[in-house]
Structure 1
């Protein structure tokens, strides 16, 4: 009898502990076919129509992730996120800057005062851009590809960051990388975001020591069945060569179907020595809340690229 009571007490305690924490397995499966002609987007020496399982013309990169969160009490939580990219052409890993879990490997703690995070993660500049970008920051985003996701790509390693709580739709995040973790060059990265009702706007700024400052400012207004967006971008490469310009575009939502046209125009381009007008035309049809088919055409620095595929989120 005593053993039964003890067992019930242990199970009750374990159940209470489990109720305060959770671990979630999630991911994306994305594959299709198309043709990539732009060398900067990974074109082959002799481009042909091929299967696309991890490319610039997929809507997103297939991935498998795990995230967890624990309620520490008093409004305090701790959590983690690990994420690994996959190539559905052959099952190989898609190493977004490193080894396994290179898409995300971080630990955080947060409460009503905000969130403090440590590790490899999407950087604040990326979140600022994703606030207003019309394709949902797809792999074929014309803004992201033309201006290098605010000049530094979407992810940062060895980053410490603080994000404010949501204050009436306004949030801000500041990230920092010590020079010992970045080839003796300290780096900071920040965003300021307002997203409330039909209005979404984001400012992204980042700077690496001894290099010029990168920034992007954009906004989007959602009318319901139609949304418009515009931005101004200034990006610098490691040699401090500059590319800057603006974007303008719109999305029409027609039930399960959505059509997006987004254009960029260079006002200065030291990367290639020539100013370009780039653009993406994207069509998506939702088969369910988690699955959609898509077709995209990307005109990038004088080359034509296209992809047709299927994406499933789980």
Structure 2
């Protein structure tokens, strides 16, 4: 269960009141069993799966906090570490998933540090699985046409929401990115049954990656489609849908290359989920990706 921990009400030595501050501990536990293909080594493995392609997501432990500064201004932070339920090991860098702080107000939010990029949040507006590890769109074309969904040293401005319209712009200076500056943006509309997003990202000396996608909900069904360009290395479209049946759902999502320097593939994902509670669900997935079969069953618990 998600637990909010009230931060220190008084800093003993200074006496400053902190009654408007709070800190929240949260996390995800996700593990299962399955078979996956390692596309770097060409090796297939079967067994327990954690932080794998066939898992819904990676396990993690995070802490976030916010302070009300008055006048509608807030300051906050988010630190998040990944961990592997197979071994208990953490990521190479402890706060590898998120390490950032921000100021926010009626004018929007300004964030500094390691974080997911605007292209990821844009694609999440319409992607059917909630950007799961086994997302066929993300595995085929990257996250909004970007192969690296997290950036170091990123400055990000996110606008307020204007009746469903919002946007984000991220920038990394060249000295913080191996000598090549990078920008990343999204423009989104999410209101009622419709969600649409355009993303674009470019690292200096590289081509621009982009995506345009949308989803529409009607009754218990959701349909989605997109076009994605992974920095002109690989591009193509996706189309799919989700049918919801009470606590359960079934998703079918397909991608097709229109450009691929190796071979044009049609990839597919079938996902089934069943909620055991508001925070826990079981899932099964089959991902046909670039001629290889990946499949698994697992349990995810959010706290």
Q: TM-score, normalised by structure 1?
A: 0.90
What SS class does the counterpart of residue 49 from structure 1 fall into? strand
Q: Which whole-Å CA distance do the structure 2 matches of 1:308 and 1:15 have between them?
A: 52
Matched, 1:89 2:78: no
Structure 1 segment 1-314 matched on structure 2, within 5 A: 17-40=17-40, 45=43, 47-95=44-92, 99-149=93-143, 150-236=145-231, 242-270=233-261, 273-314=262-303
Q: Which runs of 5+ in 1 are unaligned?
A: 1-9
> For the Cα contact (< 8 Å) 1:248–1:262, is it kept in 2?
yes
Displacement of 1:210: 1.5
Matches of 1:77 and 1:48, distance apart in 2? 47
Q: Partner residue of 2:5?
A: none
Deviation at 1:94, TM superposition (A): 3.0
How much does 1:15 deviate?
A: 11
Instruction: Kindly state the Cα deviation for residue 90 of structure 1 after the two structures are TM-superposed.
Output: 1.0
Unpaired segments of 5 or more residues in structure 2? Answer: 1-9
Asked whether the 8 Å contact 1:38–1:304 carries over to 2, the reply is: no
Cα deviation, residue 16, structure 1 = 9.8
* Larger relative helix fraction: 1
> SS state of the match for residue 185, structure 1?
coil
Is 1:38–1:305's contact at 8 Å kept on the other side of the alignment? no
Offset, 1:19: 3.0
Give 1:53 deviation, angstroms.
1.2
Query: Is the 2:119–2:146 Cα contact (8 Å) retained in structure 1?
Result: no
Distance (whole Å) between structure 1 residues aligned to residue 94 and residue 38 of structure 2: 27
How many aligned residue pairs are there? 291
Counterparts of 2:217 and 2:91, CA distance in 1? 34
Larger Rg: 1
How big is the alpha-carbon RMSD for the aligned residues of Structure 1 and Structure 2?
1.7
- State whether residues 55 and 61 of structure 1, in contact with CA within 8 Å, keep that contact through their aligned partners in structure 2: yes
Task: Answer yes or no: is the 8 Å Cα contact 1:38–1:303 preserved in 2.
Answer: no
Contact 1:54–1:94 (8 Å) recurs in 2: no
